[in-house]
């Protein structure tokens, strides 16, 4: 797999689709992630705009709008990491059957103007202590 530099505006999502191949004769359980990314939900204009448009279609209510807030998730400094996620991998895990491929999408929603030199990490349950990486660059 190869990657190229992507230009993305802060608050807007950009996505790339990648293909992962299993050339072996055994199924592989994979997990794909971007190390050292935030843990809170991403802050993206398209997500906020989508929620706003959906709420415009709903009838007026006296109930407070809690669509973007999950009361089960701890918030603030006492919750630990308060940095929003910037990268999303879908599907982030699964079983890659023998002699087959799986396509997955890596999305970036930057929270600030900066250059990104990150890696997409892929681990396999069947290959202990080994993580394969693919460079990600964006600005």
In the block, tokens 């191949």 appear at 21
Please give the pLDDT value at position 27.
95
Classify residue 84 as exposed, middle or buried by CB count within 10 Å of its CB (0-12, 13-18, 19+): middle
CB neighbours (10 Å) of residue 137?
13
Please give the pLDDT value at position 5.
52
What is the number of residues in the chain? 139
**pLDDT in single tens digits along all 139 residues of the chain:** 444 555 566 667 888 899 999 999 999 999 999 998 888 877 777 655 555 555 555 555 444 443 444 444 444 444 556 788 888 899 999 999 999 999 989 988 887 777 888 899 999 998 878 899 989 887 7
The domains of the chain are located at 14-55+80-138
Please give the pLDDT value at position 74.
46
CA-CA distance, 99 to 22, in Å (whole number)? 5
Please give the pLDDT value at position 31.
94
16-44 residues labelled b (16+ CB within 10 A) or e (exposed): eebebebeeeeebebebbbeebbeeebbb
Please give the pLDDT value at position 63.
45
Select the CATH number that applies to the domain covering 14-55+80-138 from these four: 2.60.40.10, 3.40.50.11440, 3.20.10.10, 3.30.450.40: 2.60.40.10
CA-CA distance, 78 to 69, in Å (whole number)? 17
Instruction: Assess contact for 3 and 137: CB atoms under 8 A.
Output: yes
């Amino acid at each position: 797999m190869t990657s190229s530099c992507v230009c993305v505006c802060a608050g807007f999502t950009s996505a790339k689709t990648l293909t992962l191949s299993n050339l072996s004769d055994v199924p592989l359980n994979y997990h794909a992630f971007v190390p050292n990314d935030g843990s809170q939900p991403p802050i993206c204009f398209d997500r906020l705009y989508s929620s706003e448009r959906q709420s415009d279609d709903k009838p007026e209510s006296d109930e407070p709008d809690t669509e973007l807030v999950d009361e089960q998730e701890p918030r603030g400094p006492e919750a630990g990491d308060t940095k929003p996620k910037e990268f999303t991998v879908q599907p982030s895990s699964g079983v890659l059957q023998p002699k087959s491929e799986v396509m997955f999408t890596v999305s970036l929603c930057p929270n600030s103007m900066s250059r990104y030199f990150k890696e997409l990490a892929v681990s396999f349950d069947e290959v202990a202590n080994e993580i394969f990486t693919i460079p990600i660059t964006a600005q």
